[in-house]
Amino acid sequence: MQTQVIYSADSITVHKLSDRVYFRKAEWEQTNQCNGGFIVLNDALALVDAPSEAAVMQILDEAGRLFPGKPVRYVFLTHGHWDHADGLDELIRAGVGAAMSRQAYDRFVSEGRLLPDDCLIVDGTAGAVIGGVRFEFFCLDGRLHSGEDMYIKVVDENYIFTGDTVGDFQYLYFASSDLNRWNEALGELAAMGAGLLLCGHGIYRENGFIREQKAYLSKLAEAAEDVRRRAGGSLAGAGGDALEALIGEAANGAAKSAANNAANGAANGAAAVDRELFTRHLKELLERER
């Protein structure tokens, strides 16, 4: 899909996806900011995610320039990781309301964080018309990217902000993830048939990308299982060097079988496996089991 870039500065680009929805792409390596969005309501703006206090100041400044006369009134959080939510306080102090998953809200409460008076706490699924725009919020059970992940769907456009549950593999992060549950949720997401998936890092993706990501997660799950089996069923107490060696072998195996599939022209699983990245992901996944 061709989109119009309406703003570009400081490693930030704002892409117009429709009259209502703008994707704010931040180059992670340069900015340490996640992607986000501006959603144009009848007489105000909603943001997606709030990366840091400095980022929020920047976002408010961009909003004022790009959407004059539309004050920022809401922020919707895809999840509460620091690079998506550390700027929340700044927005609350500016009188902005929020929507977030029950899981993120409860964690913020337990940490004594500042929370807005006007807060939509989403249990499971919720629909709301906010400033004339129809939204649906879907909280994801279980540990996917964060354990508090929430999709934000702009209904009429059929765009879904996915947070970090979908995205370029280099930005995937797996600590304490349940890959089977994640893959199941991706299947449900694919069935929603979104026109575009607006990812937390990297670029937006079309629905077909989900198939590639599912294949990658399956490969990781297989390799993790392989490591556990070869470690005798459990990684508890496994030595660092021994585990490292097993992970390296499993990553080699995955890279080799992906290359073979590609050579044989297999439609499924033909995506190349970057050995280094795969190794890092396997380590993230298995580290907590030691």
CA 110, 112, 117, 119 torsion-angle sign: negative
> And the tokens for 175?
């600590």
Which of 235, 232, 157, 201 is closest to 1 using CA atoms?
Answer: 157
**At 202, phi and psi to the nearest 5?**
75, -140
Provide, rounded to whole angstroms, the least separation between the CB of residue 129 and Zn ion: 28
Among the candidate windows 11-19, 162-170, 209-217, 282-290, which touches Zn ion by CB under 5 A? 162-170
Residue 164 sits in the site that holds Zn ion (CB under 5 A): yes
Q: Please give the size of the binding site for Zn ion, defined by CB under 5 A.
A: 2
Looking at 37-45, 80-88, 118-126, 269-277, which segment touches Zn ion (CB under 5 A)?
Answer: 80-88
Minimum Å distance from CB 69 to Zn ion? 33
Residue nearest Zn ion, Cβ-based: 81
* Interface segment toward Zn ion; rule CB under 5 A; list 48-56, 88-96, 161-169, 241-249: 161-169
CB atoms within 10 A of CB 270: 16
Nearest residue to 78 via CA among 14, 164, 154:
164
Whose Cβ is closer to Zn ion: residue 73's or residue 81's?
A: 81
Q: Closest separation between CB of residue 81 and Zn ion, Å?
A: 3
The single residue among 24, 70, 73, 81 that binds Zn ion, judged by CB under 5 A, is 81
Closest CA to 285 of 210, 173, 186: 173
Q: How far is the CB of 174 from Zn ion (least distance, A)?
A: 11
Piece of 73-81, 214-222, 225-233, 276-284 that binds Zn ion (CB under 5 A): 73-81
The least distance separating Zn ion from the CB of residue 84, rounded to whole angstroms, comes to: 6
* C-beta atoms surrounding 215 within 10 Å: 18
Q: In which element (H, E) is residue 15 found?
A: strand 12-16
Within 13 Å, how many C-alpha atoms sit on residue 171's CB side? Answer: 21
Which residue has tokens 């990812």? 199
Q: Which residues form the interface with Zn ion (CB under 5 A)?
A: 81, 164
